[in-house]
Structure formats: C-alpha cells, structure tokens
Amino acid sequence: MARRLKFNIFRYNPQDPDSSPHTDTFHLEETESMTLFIALNQIREEQDPSLQFDFCCRAGICGACAMMINGRPGLACHTLTKELPEEITLMPLPIFKLIGDLSVDTGTWFRSMYEKVESWVHTDKEFDPKAEEERMDNALAEEIYELERCIECGCCVAACGTANMRQDFVGAVAMNRIARFIMDPRDERTEREYFEIIGTDEGIFGCMGLLGCEDVCPKHLPLQDQLGILRRKMGWSAVKQLFKFGK
Amino acid sequence: MTVNTTAYVRSPSRTSAYLDWLQMLTGVALILFMWSHMILVASVNLGAGVMNALAAFLEATYMAQVGGPMVGCIFLLHFILAARKVPFRAEQQSTIWKLSRQLRHTDTYLWLIQATTAMIILIMGSIHMWTVLTDLPITAAKSAGRIQGGFWLVFYLILLPMVELHVGIGFYRIAVKWGFARRKDRKKFKRFENYLTAIFIAIGLITLIRFLLLKV
C-alpha cells in the first residue's frame, strides 16, 4: 500500500511584512518513483499555489533545487521519497539569502565568491579568433573537467561547519574552482598569486576538515582530495616564500 | 558571502599559513608525545622496576626536567593556535550545535568532541603536569600511592579517554586536512584510528588497575 507522506515545509516571505517564519504541513499519497521535485509540484498544484521553490532542469544539472532535506543539504530532484521516512522536513539552505519558503538566492553569493577568487583564465595572450584552438592533453582535460562538473548548488557550503559559523569563509566550492585553474596550463597565474587569493583563513587555512562538503556533494566531486592538495600546495608556497626560493 | 570585496584591499599576508603549519606541527608533536608517554607509563605492567629504571633514565638525562616544561609550552601553544577555530562566541556555538544535530554527520560531531575534550584537557592536563613535574622524581610507588588515594583515580579515569579521543580524532583530522588520507583511504583510516584509540584507552585502563593493585 502506498504511504501517506507528511511534509513539514518552512514558510516565510521576507517581502511580505505580514509574513512570519513558520512551518506548514502537507499530506500526499506516495506514488511510484516519486521525487521531491514531483511531490513539491503536486503540493503547489493541488494544495497551495503560493509555495515557493526553485527548479529548472529536474535532472541534477542546474543545481537550483538544493534544500535541507530532513536536515541534510541535497537536490530535491535527485531525492526519491522512498529513500526517506514518512515524515519529511524541508528547509531552505542556510547562509544564502532567502527569497521565500524554500527558494534561496545562490547567485549573488556565487558571483561574489567568483570575483573574490578571480574565477577566470588569466592570460596576457591576445585572443586570435581565426587561430586554431590550442590543444590540451586529453588526460589533463578530463582531470579539469572532473572539477568543472560542479553545478553550483550550494550544498557543500550549507553543510560546512566553518561556512555556517563564519560568513567570510569561501567554502569548498571556491577551493575546487581555484584547483581547476591551477591545473589549467592556459592560466598564467603564479603560485604566489594563487596564494594571495586562497592562502588565508577565509580560504584554505580556514578549512577545519569536517568534510561535510565531501559527504553531501550531489555530484560527488573529489572535494576532500582537492582540499588536501590545495592545503599542501599553499602551505609549501608559504614556506618557499619564507626561505625565498621558487616563484 | 556578505563581505563586499571591492570595498578594501588587504595586504597579502602569510600569517594564516604559518599559524596553520604550527597548529599541525604542535599537534603532531603532542600526538607522538602522548603515544610514547602511554607506552612509558604502561611499562609498570612489566614490573615497577622497569618503570623506575625508565623514569630514572629520563631524569639522569634531564629529559624530564627540560622535556616536561617544553611539552607544557607546546601544549599551551597548541591550545592558543587551535583556539582560533573554536567557536567561543555564543552565536557560533549555537550554529555549530544546530548544524551537527541537523546533519547527523560523524565528522562534524567528531570535531565537537575534539573541541570539548580540548577544554577539559587544557585544565586537567595542566593540573597533571604541574603535579607530576613539581614532585620529581617519578617512581612507580609515588604514582601508585596517588591512584590508591582515590581522587586521582577518578581524575585519570576522566582524563584518559579525553586525551585518547582528542589524540585519535586529531590524528585523523590532520591526515584528512593535509591530504595524507585520500577519499579512497578515508574509511580504512578512520577504522584504524578508532582501533588505535580503543587500544590506547585499554592500555591506560590496564595501567591504572596495575597502579591500583601495586603494593606501595
């Protein structure tokens, strides 16, 4: 027999002065292969059209539907209700600005973070639109692509003890981003330049190694490994600068 | 991110990196010290004479008189360095507890244990060091006398698991943070660390029982 699911959903509209944060309860009959994406849409269609939540691709690619599912950050479209108990509590991601109910603005945070870590290829080479594209070793391209798979959902930031306590901490997503550019031969930044961006307590040295990021990342990015590599690299960079060798 | 990065430019500094190095290095030094400390004290299980001989050696070479206070300094330095990360503000405290409860995430819980045991070790470890180092030489009879008094038995029954938990978790955390334990090794490494902690607590308990039964 199909289960009757109970949803506790956080409700608050910061735009509306009469709205105050509270939890609304909804009930749904569970259907086969039901995801939270399906469930939330059904609730909005049949029970409460004012319910706010974000969706786009419903296939784990756009990263818009990240939310706290029974206390853990995850993608609603990737979460089957059959993997959850009968009572499901949904909250918006912490840290990010709340738009309303389950919808948060990750865009502003990510834009600011990308500006901070200068998330683009730094090169002095003049771009020639007619020239053939530079070739890259396939193995390296795949290594870079592995880190590029990030969908910017914000789960790693929401699960991070450090980021939750300290708003200036850039989070695993930023380290992953920097690691990607360090690998990229087209980026001409020196180790010291990377160090100036990320070799701080807001960057890699602020990370306490709680590995919430690693354990919740819906794309299973190798965050633990990248954080470890980056800490060592930046640690050595500081030692090299102290004894004045290397660049 | 709430900080407007265009508002000011901070001069680049390497302080964070050096402090992180020091925190790790003092941690490693203390882990190695605690393991050797446990093995040296456990020598009483081989006989009071063995422990007395080892203690006499450490004092004849001035390792106890110089090394003891040195360990004390590293201990305090490690506390100051690691305290940079401990949530002393009430708001941060409530945030991290709430998050851990929500996430039900072992490694986040382990960090809370690390931070809590740290505070207890800071006080009890200092008391222990003061008591032992102001009453040299160390002998099996003196240690046994203290344990048999009752008060110190309870004291060490608390301090022992606190230290071993802190050392074990710290060991795991350093390995993970500095990339010595990779994703594929994490589970195995954690299990190894759990066994290690359990073994050291067991050795400690056996040693305490030995002191309790030692004829003074």
**pLDDT per residue over A105-146, tens digit each?**
999 999 989 998 899 999 998 889 999 988 899 999 999 999
Q: How far is Cα B212 from Cα B210, in angstroms, rounded to an integer?
A: 5
Distance from CA of B133 to the nearest CA of A (A): 33
Residue B151 domain flag: yes
Residue B67 domain flag: yes
- Whether the link from the prior residue into A94 is cis, omega within 30° of 0, is no
Q: Are the Cβ atoms of B16 and A205 closer than 8 angstroms? A: yes
* H-helix or E-strand spanning residue B95: helix B90-103
A43-47, A188-192, B24-28: which has the minimum mean pLDDT? A188-192
* Phi-psi map region of A68: left, alpha, beta (phi>0 left; psi -120 to 50 alpha): beta
* H-helix or E-strand spanning residue A236: helix A223-242
Chain A residues with beta carbon closer than 8 angstroms to that of B5: 112, 115-116
DSSP assignment letter at A35: B
Residue B110 domain flag: yes
Chain A residues with beta carbon closer than 8 angstroms to that of B183: 214, 222, 224-225
What would the pLDDT profile of B104-124 be if each residue is shown by its tens digit? Answer: 998 999 999 999 999 999 999
A56-65, B42-51, B157-166, B190-199: which has the minimum mean pLDDT? B42-51
- Structural domain span for residue B120: 18-213
Residue A247, pLDDT > 60, answer no
Chain B residues with beta carbon closer than 8 angstroms to that of A161: 96, 99-100, 108, 111
The pLDDT, as a whole number, for residue B8 is: 62
| Cβ-based neighbours of A224, under 8 Å, separated by 6 or more | A211, A213, A214, B176, B182, B183, B186
Residue B7, pLDDT > 60, answer no
Residue A53, pLDDT > 70, answer yes
User: What does the DSSP assignment read for A101-167?
Assistant: TTEEEHHHHHHHHHHHTT-S----SPP-TTSPPPP--HHHHHHHHHHHT-----HHHHT-HHHHH-T
Give the chain A residue whose CA is nearest to the CA of B172.
A209
Number of domains in chain B: 1
**Length of chain A, please?**
247
Residue B207 domain flag: yes
pLDDT band at A69 (very low <50, low <70, confident <90, very high): very high
The pLDDT, as a whole number, for residue B5 is: 55
Q: What is the mean pLDDT of chain B?
A: 89
Domains of chain A: 4-104 (3.10.20.30), 117-242 (1.10.1060.10)
Q: How far is Cα A45 from Cα A51, in angstroms, rounded to an integer?
A: 9
The pLDDT, as a whole number, for residue B11 is: 75
Q: How far is CA A23 from CA A19, B5, B157, in A?
A: 12, 36, 45
What would the pLDDT profile of B163-190 be if each residue is shown by its tens digit? Answer: 999 999 999 999 999 999 899 999 999 9
Mean pLDDT of A195-210: 91
Mean pLDDT of A163-188: 92
Residue B7 domain flag: no
* CB of A123 less than 8 A from some CB of B: no
Q: Are the Cβ atoms of B178 and A231 closer than 8 angstroms? A: yes
Phi, psi values for residue B199, rounded to 5°:
-65, -45
CATH at residue B50 = 1.20.1300.10
Q: Which residues does residue A87 pair with via DSSP β-bridges, in sequence order?
A: A6
Of B4, B84, B105, Cβ closest to residue A212: B105
What would the pLDDT profile of A10-24 be if each residue is shown by its tens digit? Answer: 999 999 999 999 999
Q: Are the Cβ atoms of B16 and A68 closer than 8 angstroms? A: no
Give the chain A residue whose CA is nearest to the CA of B10.
A196
Q: Are the Cβ atoms of A228 and B19 closer than 8 angstroms? A: no
- For chain B, percent of residues with pLDDT exceeding 70: 95
Distance from CA of B187 to the nearest CA of A (A): 12
Mean pLDDT of A69-77: 95
Which class for B8: exposed (0-12), middle (13-18), buried (19 or more C-beta within 10 A)?
exposed
Q: How far is Cα A21 from Cα A10, in angstroms, rounded to an integer?
A: 7
Q: How far is CA B162 from CA A125, B34, B115, B123, B140, in A?
A: 57, 12, 11, 12, 23
Residue B167 domain flag: yes
Residue B37 domain flag: yes
The pLDDT, as a whole number, for residue B44 is: 83
> Helix, strand or coil for residue A11?
strand
* CB of A212 less than 8 A from some CB of B: yes
Task: Pick A7 or B13 by higher pLDDT.
Answer: A7
Q: Measuring CA to CA, which residue among A64, A50, A65, A66 is closest to residue A16?
A: A50
**Length of chain B, please?**
216
Q: How far is Cα A214 from Cα B34, in angstroms, rounded to an integer?
A: 30
The pLDDT, as a whole number, for residue B4 is: 56
Residue B211, pLDDT > 90, answer no
pLDDT band at A243 (very low <50, low <70, confident <90, very high): confident
* CB of A232 less than 8 A from some CB of B: yes
Q: How far is Cα A68 from Cα B102, in angstroms, rounded to an integer?
A: 9
A193-197, B1-5, B46-50, B176-180: which has the minimum mean pLDDT? B1-5
Cβ(B139)–Cβ(B59) under 8 Å? no
User: What does the DSSP assignment read for A192-233?
Assistant: HHHHHHHSSTTTGGG-----HHHHH-TT---HHHHHHHHHHH
* CB of B84 less than 8 A from some CB of A: yes
Residue B29 domain flag: yes
